[in-house]
Amino acid sequence: MTDRGAIHFSITHSEPGGLIEIWNDVAAGLVARGHRVERFVLYPGFGPEQRAEAEADGWHHVMPARATGPLAIPRVFAALVRYLRRTRPAALVTAMPLANVLMPLAVKVAGTATRVYISHHSPIETHNPALVRLDTWTGRLDCVAAVICVSGAVAASLSGKPTAYRAKCVTVPNALPDRIEALIDRLCGADAPEKVAGRIVALGRLTHQKNYPMLVRAMAYVPLGTLDIVGAGEDEAALRRLASECGVEARVRFLGQMPREQALAHAASAEVFVQVSHYEGHSLALIEAARLGLPLVVSDVPVQVEGITAPDGERCGQAVSIGDDRGLGEVLARLLAQREERSQWAARAKRLGLGASNGAMIDAYESLLARSVPEC
């Protein structure tokens, strides 16, 4: 089932989302360079279908089901130790707060020589405070070789950590895999779908993080626009009720979870991309929308502003304050109404998207892991 001495990528659970896609992308890039890679999660997401989908995609589960009750964490930890003793990874790259905390401890108990690389994909003030405190300790263990941050804003959120912790920090921005870059380039060229006038698109799970209620309310100020939300999640019923209460239910479509390729093809038919999340890390959806050449509208929080800013400092998208429903609606309405302005923002977004380098991302991970994996 597993390959001893390989690089293992891990997250806490297998619910669909950007983190699974990021590790899939990085793993694929390393495999293409001749490295041995495995991927595993501590326990499945909600629903047996999510476990089946993750396993079909090559992910292993340490626990067959989500543990519950007062002994849940000890049971997960014991299973993780057994997994590590059986597979003995050379390097272990983790994401999500619980996995970041448990992996270094499990490596110590398992007695393997595994080097651990924990990663932060959102500002730490968005994490469980207890896990943040534990991470301050576990991140300083000698088995932790590096602390990876996916953006400058995420790295800045670690400023309160001890010096010994911060000395391990390195920033590695996310990027798209070659196959997705190639797909997007086709969607901008020979395979380009017809643009649907007035279509606004948002990509991401229906959760608190994505701040969809603000977007739904803002549609009341975009009378000539329609909104397509690609993603599923626990907030869907509440969002549908809100759309009805705001009188925009006929212009807001909840399209559910789609395969990545299908979601990108649908996004390519839109005129504007919007993502007003409470927080992100370095959003893959934002990178994808930028490479598609969609005008970008995001929330005015540091990590999102960083995400729409080019290396030379040019702002390549528009940021709106969280809570300003009318302001968001007015920006979206103006972009839909003004073709010239829309074209200008589209060109800036395209420049930003083309600047994200898959090669540079894989180079960075390969360089970090070279200290632990002889084949690197």
Residues 195 and 169 in one domain: no
Residues 87 and 236 in one domain: no
For residue 298, the model assigns a pLDDT of 98
Residues 25 and 85 in one domain: yes
For residue 52, the model assigns a pLDDT of 78
In a domain, 269, yes or no: yes
Instruction: Please state which of the ranges 37-51, 197-211, 319-333 shows the lowest mean pLDDT.
Output: 37-51
Tell whether the model's pLDDT for residue 51 goes beyond 80: no
For residue 321, the model assigns a pLDDT of 98
Cα 192 to Cα 186, 314, 352, distances in angstroms? 7, 27, 20
Residues 250 and 308 in one domain: yes
Alpha-carbon span 276 to 209, nearest angstrom: 9
For residue 46, the model assigns a pLDDT of 67
Residue labelled with tokens 């959806």: 285
- By percentage, how much of the chain surpasses pLDDT 70? 97
Alpha-carbon span 180 to 185, nearest angstrom: 8
Residues 208 and 159 in one domain: no
* β-strands 169-171, 199-203 pairing: unpaired
pLDDT in tens, 327-344: 999 999 999 999 999 999
The answer to whether the beta carbons of residues 42 and 13 sit under 8 Å apart is yes
Cα 290 to Cα 161, 183, 210, 304, distances in angstroms? 33, 14, 18, 13
pLDDT band at 47 (very low <50, low <70, confident <90, very high): low
In a domain, 18, yes or no: yes
CA atoms within 13 Å, Cβ hemisphere of 88: 7
pLDDT in tens, 94-153: 999 999 999 999 999 999 999 999 999 999 999 999 999 999 999 999 999 999 999 999
For residue 258, the model assigns a pLDDT of 93
Residues 335 and 363 in one domain: no
Cα 288 to Cα 26, 67, 263, 297, 299, distances in angstroms? 16, 35, 10, 14, 17
Tell whether the model's pLDDT for residue 345 goes beyond 60: yes
Sign of CA dihedral 276, 282, 288, 292: positive
Mean pLDDT in the chain? Answer: 93
For residue 82, the model assigns a pLDDT of 97
CATH code for position 275: 3.40.50.2000
pLDDT band at 373 (very low <50, low <70, confident <90, very high): low
pTM: predicted TM-score of the whole model, two decimal places = 0.87
Listing DSSP states for 143-174 in one string gives: TEEEEEESSHHHHHTTTTS-HHHHTTEEE---
In a domain, 194, yes or no: yes
In a domain, 376, yes or no: no
In a domain, 2, yes or no: no
Residues 170 and 200 in one domain: no
In a domain, 25, yes or no: yes
Average pLDDT over residues 248-270: 96
Tell whether the model's pLDDT for residue 1 goes beyond 80: no
Q: Domain range holding 165?
A: 7-175+358-369
Domain count, the chain: 2
Residues 308 and 271 in one domain: yes
Alpha-carbon span 257 to 204, nearest angstrom: 9
Residues 300 and 318 in one domain: yes
Cα 325 to Cα 105, 161, 209, 220, 252, distances in angstroms? 45, 35, 16, 9, 15
Residues 141 and 244 in one domain: no
pLDDT in tens, 298-312: 999 999 999 999 999
In a domain, 208, yes or no: yes
In a domain, 81, yes or no: yes
For residue 344, the model assigns a pLDDT of 98
Residues 203 and 238 in one domain: yes
List Cβ neighbours of 350 (8 Å cut-off, separation of 6 or more). Answer: 290, 291, 292, 293
Q: What DSSP character marks residue 59?
A: E
Residues 125 and 35 in one domain: yes
